[in-house]
């Protein structure tokens, strides 16, 4: 069996093409482009690269993306104060606010993320947005989780009544994705199992999955013998490994052997990553549109 390659780059391009004219129309209505503010702390090469790709994608659809670079030595209180000031539009209108993770170890990431106004929380990490998702009335959905669901829908993967297994229980991917796949409606109605570092029989659980999502951050953890023949496998992991003196990116899935077993599998790079950025753009557009609506109602 040669698995279908789930091309995240192609789908992300389609999303961008659909979004660009909507952004242009909103720009004409509000007299400026929607604006995303990204808070980048420290000098971590990977984080800077992610921020650069987000800014480039925003530019392609007509969204302004400004980066606030903060010294790594910043304190939690200082960073919270900066985020709150951005939320009050003291540095210009901020339709969407994103704090690039990870933050330095000495910073309380939860306190910083909680400082982002829920109506500008385009990453979907604020407890208000997490709570709304848990109640089945999502507002801003974490971008990677939304991207995985979008990939499944685009590929025509039926989730209703299927057993979805997620390896990884993070607040960013695993937990919100479990809620999405179990929710009612398209892309949902699945029976969901969430595995983690204390799951003692991981292989036995993954072998039962009709849809297997790897989001744990362990290079090539998911091997062919862990995959049910004909399963759909989504790889969320992005890991850099050394290979013969050079480094390369791999996912949490051992791609080539798994592709001989699975019906469909997403690659790394070029799979979920571009969709994470595309969902961020959609969230930013929605935030700007909602802001315009609130402003109109207040007049």
* pLDDT one-digit tens code per residue, 186-219: 999 999 999 998 999 999 999 999 999 999 999 9
pLDDT score, position 262: 98
Average pLDDT, the chain: 95
Q: How far apart are the first and last CA of the chain?
A: 61
Residue 295, pLDDT > 80, answer: no
What fold is seen in the domain 31-117? Rossmann fold (3.40.50)
The token pair at 101 is 């993770």
Active site residue 252: no
Does domain 143-274 fall under CATH 3.40.1190.20? My reply is no
pLDDT score, position 46: 84
Comma-separated ranges of CATH 3.40.50.720 domains in the chain: 143-274
| CA pair distance 280, 273, nearest whole angstrom | 11
Give the residue from 299, 174, 282 showing the smallest Cα distance to 236. 174
Q: Per the residue annotation, which of 123, 210, 235, 252 is the catalytic one?
A: 123
Contact 222/254 with Cβ under 8 angstroms? yes
Active site residue 54: yes
pLDDT score, position 247: 84
| CA pair distance 28, 15, nearest whole angstrom | 21
Active site residue 189: no
pLDDT score, position 74: 97
Instruction: Provide the CA 273 distance to its chain's centre, in angstroms.
Output: 8
Residue 297, pLDDT > 90, answer: no
Global pTM reads 0.95
The string of pLDDT tens digits covering residues 61-76 is 999 999 999 999 999 9
Residue 254, pLDDT > 60, answer: yes
**pLDDT band at residue 173 under the 50/70/90 scheme:** very high
Comma-separated ranges of CATH 3.40.50.10860 domains in the chain: 31-117
Q: Per the residue annotation, which of 100, 149, 228, 235 is the catalytic one?
A: 100
Cα-based distances in Å from 227 to 50, 130, 181, 275: 30, 30, 19, 24
pLDDT score, position 298: 59
């Amino acid at each position: 069996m040669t698995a279908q390659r789930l091309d995240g780059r192609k789908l992300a391009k389609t999303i961008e093409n659909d979004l660009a004219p909507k952004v242009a129309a909103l720009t004409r209505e509000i007299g400026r482009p929607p604006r995303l503010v990204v808070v980048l702390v420290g000098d971590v090469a990977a984080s800077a690269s992610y921020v650069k790709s987000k800014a480039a994608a925003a530019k392609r659809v007509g969204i302004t993306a400004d980066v606030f670079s903060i010294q790594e030595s910043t304190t939690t209180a200082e960073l919270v104060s900066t985020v709150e000031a951005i939320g009050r539009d003291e540095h210009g209108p901020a339709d969407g606010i994103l704090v690039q993770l990870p933050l330095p170890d000495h910073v309380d990431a939860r306190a910083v993320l909680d400082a982002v106004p829920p109506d500008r929380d385009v990453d979907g990490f604020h407890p208000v947005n997490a709570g709304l998702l848990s109640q089945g009335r999502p507002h801003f959905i974490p971008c990677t989780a939304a991207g995985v669901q979008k990939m499944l829908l685009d590929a025509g993967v039926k989730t209703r009544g299927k057993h979805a297994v997620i390896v990884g229980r993070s607040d960013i991917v695993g937990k919100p994705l479990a809620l999405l796949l179990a929710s009612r409606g398209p892309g949902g109605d699945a029976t969901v199992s969430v595995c983690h570092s204390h799951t003692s029989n991981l292989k036995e659980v993954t072998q039962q999955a009709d849809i297997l999502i790897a989001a744990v951050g362990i290079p090539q953890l998911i091997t062919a013998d862990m995959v049910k023949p004909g399963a759909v496998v989504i790889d969320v992991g992005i890991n850099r490994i050394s290979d013969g003196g050079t480094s390369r990116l791999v996912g949490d899935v051992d791609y080539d052997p798994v592709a001989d077993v699975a019906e469909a599998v997403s690659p790394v790079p070029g799979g979920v990553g571009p969709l994470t950025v595309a969902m961020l753009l959609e969230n930013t557009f929605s935030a700007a549109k909602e802001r315009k609506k609130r402003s109109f109602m207040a007049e």
